[in-house]
Amino acid sequence: MKMSELTDFLVSLNALGVMFSDEISKPRQRLYWEALKDIITLEEWNYATLAAIRRETFHKVPLPARLMEYVDEYRAHQERRRWEEQRLVAQAERLALESSPEWHAEQAKKQAEREEHQQEYQAWLLEQPKTVLIALGKLNPPHPERWAALEGDTLDYQQSNDPDEARTRLRNQLRQLMAND
């Protein structure tokens, strides 16, 4: 606080004294001023004095450390308020931006560029030899000697409540697959 704010500071401090029936002597007033003048603003001081009047129950003016707790509370509230204002401003800017035709045109242009890059990549893939495609994992053809000739009826799923019948059917399908290797 500035020296010009000393009068307002003392008025609030004396109001605390009246409220708590605690006379504040001149040396005590000076100690409060010296303890708090460099670390708080007059606005924070006014908040702290009002908070003390509303919440304190002991008939004694709170010490500077207790008043600083109210100042910290005020600062946290102000910080939350600033953060919320910044969030609302950013949200309003984003909404204004998204409603502009220029933004939609830019987004459409970016989407077209992404699609063009994807098409170029697909074209490049088609031009590559199979070994490159296999290395990229884009093409992994099965080896013809490992193909098994299966008939449709051998792979049909048939639900069975009899576990022995299901096991027998699965063993037959496995034998057929192994015989074709």
138 pLDDT band (50/70/90 cuts)?
A: low
Q: Please say whether the beta carbons of 40 and 2 come within 8 A.
A: no
Confidence at residue 124, expressed as pLDDT on a 0 to 100 scale: 76
User: pLDDT higher for 109 or 133?
Assistant: 109
Interval 144-175: pLDDT, tens = 555 555 555 555 566 677 888 878 888 887 77
Confidence at residue 158, expressed as pLDDT on a 0 to 100 scale: 64
Interval 38-97: pLDDT, tens = 999 999 999 999 999 999 998 899 999 999 999 999 999 999 999 999 999 999 988 888
pLDDT at 141 over 70: no
User: What distance in Å separates the CA atoms of residue 74 and residue 45, rounded to the nearest whole number?
Assistant: 10
Question: What's the gap between Cα 8 and its chain centre?
Answer: 43
178 pLDDT band (50/70/90 cuts)?
A: confident
Lowest mean pLDDT among 1-10, 15-24, 130-139: 130-139
**How many percent of the chain have pLDDT more than 70?**
81
pLDDT at 30 over 90: yes
Confidence at residue 28, expressed as pLDDT on a 0 to 100 scale: 95
Minimal CA–CA distance to 26: which of 45, 38, 43, 13?
13
Mean pLDDT of the chain: 84
Q: Please say whether the beta carbons of 48 and 16 come within 8 A.
A: no
Confidence at residue 171, expressed as pLDDT on a 0 to 100 scale: 82
Question: What's the gap between Cα 96 and its chain centre?
Answer: 23
* CA dihedral of 37, 38, 42, 46, whole degrees rounded to 10: -70
